[in-house]
Structure 1
Amino acid sequence: MSDHQPKELNSGILGWIERTGNRLPDPVFLFLWLILFLVIASVLLSSMGVSALHPTIKDSAGNATVIAVSSLLSAENIEKLFVDMPKTMTHFHPLGYVLIVMLGAGVAERTGLFSSAMRAGVASAPKMLLTPVVALVAMIANLAADAAYVVLIPLAGILFASAGRHPIAGIAAAFAGVSGGFSANLLPGQLDALLFGITESAVELLVPTWDANIAGNWYFIMAMTFVFLPIIWYVTDKIVEPRLGKFNAKESTIDISAEDQGRLSEQQRKGLKRAGLAVLAVIAFWVYITLGPGTPLIDESAVATAQLSPFYKSLVAGFFVMFLLAGWAYGSAVGTVKDHRDVVTMMADSMKDMAYYLVIVFTAAHFVVMFNWSNMGIILAINGAEFLGSTDLPMPVLIGLMILIAAMINIFVGSASAKWAILAPVMVPMFMLLGVSPEMATAAYRMGDGATNIITPLMFYFPLILAFCQRWKPEFGLGSLTAMMIPYSIWMLVLGLLMTMTWIGLDLPLGPGASASYVLPGK
């Protein structure tokens, strides 16, 4: 670290963000404090008789049912808290989705498949297309989770340096793709499973029979990829790199000639070919069991709009099988998998990496379920929907406000799942009452969540990116990194807002079987 960095950390808006964010507790204890607040609020609002008319549940006379705030200190709720504690955690919707996908993704990561695939994606890029290739691979590399930060971002710096360009510009482009384009991708993945599990819990406040479709944002995240790609390309080449000036290799602690610049061994290339064949085999198998004899993944007895529901639900298993077999095929070629025991060990190790997530799940699950027990979430949603409806603001404007709220909160609370667990129980039902689908609400949240990732020092990997930059320029400080990433953040947020507002304005589908608009059952 340079000598002047403490001054940067403690001055101006960056210092205020740093100090304010550091006062926030760990997400685990954040949820515990929120639970305490819930308990106090539920007691007060229950004693005041706060209530609302449920829009979908009718009594025997056909009248709307009155729902009132329930005190979390009532005998019934205290009993549920302690008796249902194991069920509260294990029935938390994102948990099963994420653990299953991670069992397969953990194998793909530990065999080296993700690392080699990222290297292959950027190493052979022509110099004139180096920036867009790095940006595209960075956004796709979100499927690899942590590996994208640890492997691709420093590799991008080396590739830029070897091409005679400023290495920190390469780091910036990769960081913008991996973190700013956090939700952008060509395929659904772990994040989709995580967020839609939380969305499902929120939807069930109004529609208990609703099932999550992890492909519900597929078209939207693909569009994000191609909207963000030219932004990263332009900002890197026209704004960031000119400001960095000419790179002085003497300042660097890295000998470029001694670095692995992304070249793959013959075994790694063979492994990638095997992994590609495994992916094609899984896709062919899924097509067969969807369209083949008996159509196992099509419910032909359901109405037309629901016939593909089994297929959508099977995608979690599909991604698990695809990652598992592709990782196994790659590992058998490069020697990281010698027999089935290695695969089992890798799956077990991937679950070790989820230990912290499981601790967060325990508190997040209780926050969500207690919010539901209190009825405060649905009452806030109903009253909020009535208020927003009375403003006569166009729906694209309301969705835009939601994006800005998510972007602002993201500066102080880095975890995507933690923020969505807090916002979803109110935002999702509220927008459903206004005619916006759960998939559209989730998409809007994702757009706001990513744009400010790259400018907050509280993002988990921010210090790591700073360290990568300081390998090339030792005096590069936290303020320098934030200032460098601000243009990406602004352009992503502005064009992301326009994209999302246009999407809902035109009522475009967000994914297979997922529309932007929504009509409550019975209405």
Structure 2
Amino acid sequence: MNQVKHKVSFVNRFLNIVEKAGNRLPDPSILFFLLCAGLIVLSWLISLFGVSVKNPGTGKTVEVTSLISREGFGKILSESVKNFSEFPALGLVLAVMLGIGVAEKTGYFDKLMILIVNKTSKKVIVPIIIFVGIVGNAAGDAAPIVLPPLTALVFIKLGYHPIAGLAMAYASALGAFAANISLGMSDALVYAFTKPAAEIIDKDIHLNVAMNWYFIAASSFILLPVIYFVSMKIVIPRLGKYEVEGEAAISVQENEISTKENKALKFANISFLVVLAILLALSIPENGWLRNAETGSLIEKSPLMDGVGIVILIVFFVPGFVYGVVSGKIKNTKDLGKMLTESMATMGSFIVIVFFAAQLLAYLEWSNLGVVISVKGAELLQGQNGITVIIGLIILSSIINLLIGSASAKWAILAPIFIPMFMLLGYHPAFTQMIYRIGDSITNPITPMMPYLPLLLSYAQKYDKNMKLGTLLSSLMPYSIVLGIVWPIVIIIWFLLGLQLGPGGDIFYHK
């Protein structure tokens, strides 16, 4: 019998190569261990040539120092725990996760999304779903897991293909990952690596978690019509009509809200508004408790900015807790304790990465390699205009995103290189961080390294048993392409206008 050979498309071939390359990479924690070991050896090799540069921060000449020495070995052995325990923002990230974890574990995020979609008028349902997807990254895993199957059912009712709904919801939640109207876990995660990287050049630099807030909030409203356009003009027409055959892929009952859950949502949402009202009452008055007691500033050295981790914790914890109590998910302190514990358990990989990332940053400082790489890299980029720099870093981070799924792992590698380098070129860490976040987001819908992609494929196969990964990615690709054009243009316009990216988040850096 002759076997029929199916021609593999270019997209499939490309993504197969990416997937194989990504799968060959070691686990992120092992990758960082290898980077640490490699850096130790590299410090020894470069020190043999007496490489030195002038530190622009201190004005002193620094020379690469070998870590393979008695002094280096002593530091590695005696200060490893200190490097880890004093890693900036580690406590902030874990604190934020406590609040978000309770809201996620009780089911508050899931049911809130279902309620919004179910209660929305058909005339505005598609834009609302996109908006929920964009702001849903603050809800942890809820948006890319819950929203796609829910949107597929809505699309069937609207007469659209359900797979178009899956693609739109998935792209909204992940393609616009760096956009949001509120601060959340992603802001805390990138800040955790940006701050120590900036301190390589300037020990006294003042940074905060909210330094990208203005831009990410504006992006939420700018990207909404962009995703809507791609959906209505490209993806939905391409997939055509859908003929319902047999049972619906996902039971409607799974997306219904019981009377008890509806009551719990009502009280939880009220508690959320009460928390916001209290925060505003403590922030708006000139003598508000969340302002700097001496200057009255709400940004510089204020309890609001310095305690932003606890603020985010409370904002998410209170409605999550209220929902859990009223819905019966939290019956006693043991239930609450279990949820808090499970929330921390999900941060295990992050904690391991931070341990090795902390050592990597310390090795860069002890060996002076961090300063040397930054100065030499800045010299190579000297004379390049800001637009070239923006596009270059976006392309680099978007390509790396195709190979490494962990957002924290990617930025932990790139931040110690590009944050100091761009500071020497005159760009603020907030600006560099935002450029990276854009590149890291736009290829999220199509990266095979994203753990949600196999789940999305399983959703799609319930509507089309013959659905393959390449076919699914062909519906996601238009989002990455258009976002990859529009979002860089937005940051370039922001750059040309010289607008602040957020509180204390300037475009340019001045020592």
The TM-score bracket by the shorter chain reads over 0.9
Q: In the alignment, which residue of structure 1 is the partner of 2:156?
A: 161
Q: In the alignment, which residue of structure 2 is the partner of 1:359?
A: 352
Alpha-carbon distance between aligned partners in 2 of 1:233 and 1:291, rounded to the nearest angstrom: 36
- Shift in Å, 1:434: 1.9
Alpha-carbon distance between aligned partners in 2 of 1:24 and 1:465, rounded to the nearest angstrom: 23
Letter of the 1:232 partner, please give it. I
Distance 1:253 1:357, change over 3 A: farther
- Shift in Å, 1:96: 1.1
Alpha-carbon distance between aligned partners in 1 of 2:204 and 2:118, rounded to the nearest angstrom: 48
Moved more, 440-449 or 147-156: 147-156
Q: TM-score, normalised by structure 2?
A: 0.93
Q: In the alignment, which residue of structure 1 is the partner of 2:493?
A: 502
Q: In the alignment, which residue of structure 2 is the partner of 1:60?
A: none
- Shift in Å, 1:37: 2.0
Letter of the 1:241 partner, please give it. I
Distance 1:135 1:358, change over 3 A: same
Letter of the 2:248 partner, please give it. I
Q: In the alignment, which residue of structure 2 is the partner of 1:385?
A: 378
- Shift in Å, 1:154: 1.5
Write the mapping of 1:121-520 to structure 2, written as runs, cut at 5 A. 121-250=116-245, 254=248, 258-260=251-253, 262-290=255-283, 295-301=288-294, 307=300, 309-389=302-382, 392-520=383-511
- Shift in Å, 1:373: 2.2
| Aligned positions, number | 508
Q: Deviations over 1:475-505 (max 9, x none)?
A: 1111112211111001101111101111111
Distance 1:4 1:319, change over 3 A: farther
- Shift in Å, 1:420: 0.7
Letter of the 1:328 partner, please give it. F
Q: In the alignment, which residue of structure 2 is the partner of 1:61?
A: none
Alpha-carbon distance between aligned partners in 2 of 1:311 and 1:11, rounded to the nearest angstrom: 48
Letter of the 1:46 partner, please give it. S
Moved more, 426-435 or 285-294: 285-294
- 2:105 matched to 1:117? no
Alpha-carbon distance between aligned partners in 2 of 1:40 and 1:174, rounded to the nearest angstrom: 46
Alpha-carbon distance between aligned partners in 1 of 2:7 and 2:194, rounded to the nearest angstrom: 40
Moved more, 400-409 or 84-93: 84-93
- Shift in Å, 1:474: 1.2
Alpha-carbon distance between aligned partners in 2 of 1:238 and 1:53, rounded to the nearest angstrom: 55
Q: TM-score, normalised by structure 1?
A: 0.91
- Secondary structure at 2:57 match in 1: strand
- Shift in Å, 1:90: 1.9
Alpha-carbon distance between aligned partners in 1 of 2:206 and 2:41, rounded to the nearest angstrom: 32
Letter of the 1:236 partner, please give it. S
Report if aligned partners of 1:466, 1:477 keep a CA contact under 8 Å in 2.
yes
Identity of aligned residues (%): 37
Letter of the 1:333 partner, please give it. V
Distance 1:304 1:435, change over 3 A: farther
Q: Deviations over 1:278-327 (max 9, x none)?
A: 22222233334445696443334359696454321221110101111111
Alpha-carbon distance between aligned partners in 2 of 1:5 and 1:119, rounded to the nearest angstrom: 40
- Shift in Å, 1:449: 0.3
Distance 1:9 1:73, change over 3 A: farther
Q: Deviations over 1:165-197 (max 9, x none)?
A: 211111001110111111111101001011011
Distance 1:147 1:11, change over 3 A: closer
Alpha-carbon distance between aligned partners in 2 of 1:128 and 1:13, rounded to the nearest angstrom: 39
Q: In the alignment, which residue of structure 1 is the partner of 2:30?
A: 29
Write the mapping of 1:11-30 to structure 2, written as runs, cut at 5 A. 12-30=13-31
Letter of the 1:254 partner, please give it. A
Alpha-carbon distance between aligned partners in 2 of 1:247 and 1:177, rounded to the nearest angstrom: 22
Alpha-carbon distance between aligned partners in 1 of 2:118 and 2:254, rounded to the nearest angstrom: 7
- Secondary structure at 1:249 match in 2: coil
Q: In the alignment, which residue of structure 2 is the partner of 1:88?
A: 83
- Secondary structure at 2:53 match in 1: strand
- Secondary structure at 1:260 match in 2: helix
- Shift in Å, 1:104: 0.9
Report if aligned partners of 2:290, 2:298 keep a CA contact under 8 Å in 1.
no
RMSD after superposition? 2.4
- Secondary structure at 1:84 match in 2: helix
Alpha-carbon distance between aligned partners in 2 of 1:253 and 1:206, rounded to the nearest angstrom: 61
Q: In the alignment, which residue of structure 1 is the partner of 2:71?
A: 76
Q: Deviations over 1:195-233 (max 9, x none)?
A: 011100111111212343111111111122122211211
Report if aligned partners of 1:109, 1:115 keep a CA contact under 8 Å in 2.
yes
Alpha-carbon distance between aligned partners in 1 of 2:366 and 2:117, rounded to the nearest angstrom: 50
Q: Deviations over 1:315-357 (max 9, x none)?
A: 1110101111111111122111223442222111211222222
Alpha-carbon distance between aligned partners in 2 of 1:519 and 1:326, rounded to the nearest angstrom: 41
